[in-house]
Structures are given as structure tokens and as C-alpha cells.
Amino acid sequence: MSSVATFKQDPHRLLVIPGPIEVADDVLYANAHPSMSHVSAEFVPVLGDCIRMTREVLLTATGQPFLIAGSGTLVLQVASNLVEPDEDVLVLNTGYFGDSFAECLQTYGAKVDHITAEVGGVVSQADIESALKSKKYKIVTFTHVDTSTGVLSDAKSIAETVKKVSPETLTVLDGVCSVASEEIRMDDWGIDVVLTASQKGLGTPPGLSILVASQKAIKVYESRKVPPNSYYASWKKWLPVMQAYEKGSPAYFATPPVNLIYAYHASLTRITKGSPNLTERLKLHKLASQKIKAAAKGLGLRQVPLDDNFAANGMSAFYFPEGVTGPDVLPRLFKKDVIVAAGLHKAMKEKYFRVGFEHMGISVVDERRGDIDKVIASIKEAIGEAIESKKV
């Protein structure tokens, strides 16, 4: 096997869907680590470091990370740990993933109210304040970046409103598509739970469900009247495991994804200890986002977010030109070795496409790759070809 210094991925199509994303060579190399016992002296500090570095990414001193084998969807297990039957939850809905979170909450017995933004819009702070004054909610949850619309919600303002109007209510941020590409100051803003996954801004192959809970959220969990109604996702099982590994001792409930933890460690090391640093990475994401959105505007493409102020920096969503559809464009991009994503939002699924993470992760921080320029050029060519084909 080659060394990490000489390892290079084989040539492949550029993956720019809303996750999984392109990963760095050293991260992929770490994923190929020889098989290792999850309770070995070699592995224990690797998982312990991952727990600590996850805190660094979210700028929290006391948040409790949970790193569990599973899809990003598994992070919705927060519902089984914090919500008891018939408790009220408010979902700030900006797209497909607001619907998904609400369905999960209802599965675990919550009574869910929605404030649903118009397509491409965000929920107003006034509407949030009004809802919080009308009823006592256990949790307010929102999708920081909804990949179905490319909309970025104002996490800081949402948390401030909740704290002002209903300080006992927990604020839960679905950051699957925002962690490490959008600013999140968990402690400073008063976010109680951040949910995410390995395969997007954190730049690791898929398969790791990542959740960080504030001490306030942990205390709410510990004061439950009935046990959690999930076995695999129960914090009762996972909290002592996470605490043990961070202290340098192995513990067991279920086998962690050892190789994926090695890959996650490599990516976190890049993010928290490498160059560019986290602050610089976030600035680069904004610059990359502005570049591709400006290029799309130059092509006459209209983005789904209704305002640049709440357009995500790690992905973009654009409407097709009039008379052009996904089958006209996506196969042409595929032939140019660029893979983008079709629409997802039920209200307009056939009318738009999503350019995921050519402006996230390694594609942003390593300009030598030329990923952003390749995507822009390929979209320009594919759209032009699609329009020309309609004239025949």
C-alpha cells in the first residue's frame, strides 16, 4: 500500500451533489486504515480526539458530542431522547427536511406545529415570537441549510428569539448541510443541539451520524419521566461510551465504524489544525458561493432562495431556463464528468437543479483542483447545448 504522501485517488467524475462530497486524498487514505479493534490502545485516542475536535468545529466548550454509526438521518434520534409523548414541538419549515424532521418527531409522539416559509424563503422572527407566546414548546427545530431549497436560516437570530420569549425551550439546529461550511457558534448563540453527518462540510465518506448536545439538553434528557423509546439511539447507551473514550478508556455498546473514525479524524485535523483554519475556510466558502452564483446569474439562471441574504454558502439551487428540464441538462453534465443533483422540493421538483458541494470542503480550500471553474464551465456548456437542442 502506498504512503499517505504518495496516495492519489483514481480519476473520476466530479461529485457535486448535496452530499456526499469530494474528499481529500489523505482522508480517503485514512479510511483504508488496516482493520483495528475498537477497544485497542491505538484506536481509543483517535475517537477521543474526534470528540474533542468536533467541539472545536462547533465552537462549544461544554457540548457533548455523540459519534454513532449511521446515516445522517439517524441524528433525528434527538426526537427519541428529548421528546416525550404529547409534548409540543415547533418546526420552522423551509423545505423537504423540515417535513422529514416533523415526521420523525411525530413518530416519537410529539405534537408538531409548523411555521412554513414560502418556497425559497425563511420564517420571520416575528412569526417565531408569536408562536412561542401562544404555546409552551419543548423544542424549536429548524434546518440551518435545507438542501431542497438552498435556503440558509438565521441560526443566531432564531436562538436569540427563543431565549428571549421562551428560555426553557430547547433550540435544535439541523446542521447536516451546514456544519463546517456555515458559521455556527453553539455556545455564544445558545444552540442546544446541533445535528450533522460526516459526508458534507465535514469532508468524510458517509456513514457517521454526529450530534452535539448542550449541558442544558443533557439535563432535560436526564429529567425524562419515561425512558427513551429507541434502543440503538438512546443517549443512556451512548453517553457513557462517549465519555469513556474521551477520558482515554474503551467502552462498549455497539461497534463504532473504526475506519470511518480514522477518516473523520484526518478531516477534522485538516479543519481544526490545518491551513486554512476554520475562520478562513468559512470565508472561502462564501467567496466560492458568490462566484458560482454570479456565474449562474450571468447565464440567466435564477436561484431558488428569494434573497441573497439567506442563500447558503455550501450549495446552490437554480431554476432551469424556460423550456429546459432536468433530462435536458443533467445527462449532458454527466458526459462532462460532473454530477449534480436533480430537484427535491415537492412543489417544483422538475423545475430546478442543485449544485452541491463544488463550493464546499476540499473543492473550496484547494483551488489547485479547479473544481469550481470546471463546474461553472460545464454548466454553461450544458445549458447552452440544451437550449440549442430545443431550436432543432
Q: For residue 305, what are the domain limits?
A: 14-20+276-391
Q: Are residues 316 and 256 in the same domain?
A: no
DSSP H or E run through 267:
helix 258-273
Please tell me the predicted confidence (pLDDT) of residue 1. Answer: 54
Considering the domain architecture, whether residues 54 and 115 belong to the same structural domain is answered as: yes
**Which residue spans within 175-321 are E strands per DSSP?**
193-197, 208-213, 316-319
pLDDT at residue 2, as a whole number: 61
Nearest CA to 340 out of 296, 307, 309 is that of 296
Residues 329 and 233 in one domain: no
On whether both 206 and 342 belong to a single domain, the answer is: no
The domain boundary residue, chosen from 228, 243, 273: 273
240 within a domain of the structure (yes/no): yes
Q: pLDDT at position 361, please?
A: 63
Grid cell in block for residue 75? 441524528
- Tell me whether residue 262 is in a domain: yes
Grid cell of 199 as nine digits: 459526508
Report the pLDDT value the prediction gives residue 390, as an integer from 0 to 100: 86
Same domain, 248 and 286: no
Residues 90 and 223 in one domain: yes
Residues 179-227: pLDDT tens digits? Answer: 999 999 999 999 999 999 999 999 999 999 999 999 999 999 999 999 9
Q: Residue 168 belongs to a domain with what CATH number?
A: 3.40.640.10
- How far apart CA 292 and CA 140 sit, in angstroms, is 33
Residues of the chain with pLDDT under 50: 358-359
* CA–CA distance, 153 with 151 (Å, rounded to integer): 6
Q: How far apart are CA 349 and CA 252, in angstroms?
A: 43
Residue 368 assigned to a binding site: no
Q: How many domains does the chain have?
A: 2
Distance CA 117, CA 94 (A): 5
pTM of the model: 0.95
Q: Which of 273, 298, 316 is the last residue of a domain?
A: 273
Report how far residue 147's alpha carbon sits from residue 258's, in angstroms, rounded to the nearest whole number: 29
Of 107, 126, 118, 114, the C-alpha closest to 89 is 114
Same domain, 236 and 294: no
Q: What is the pLDDT of residue 75?
A: 84
- What is the pLDDT at residue 357? 57
The three-point CA angle 332-338-339 to 5° equals: 90
- Decide if 5 is inside a domain: no
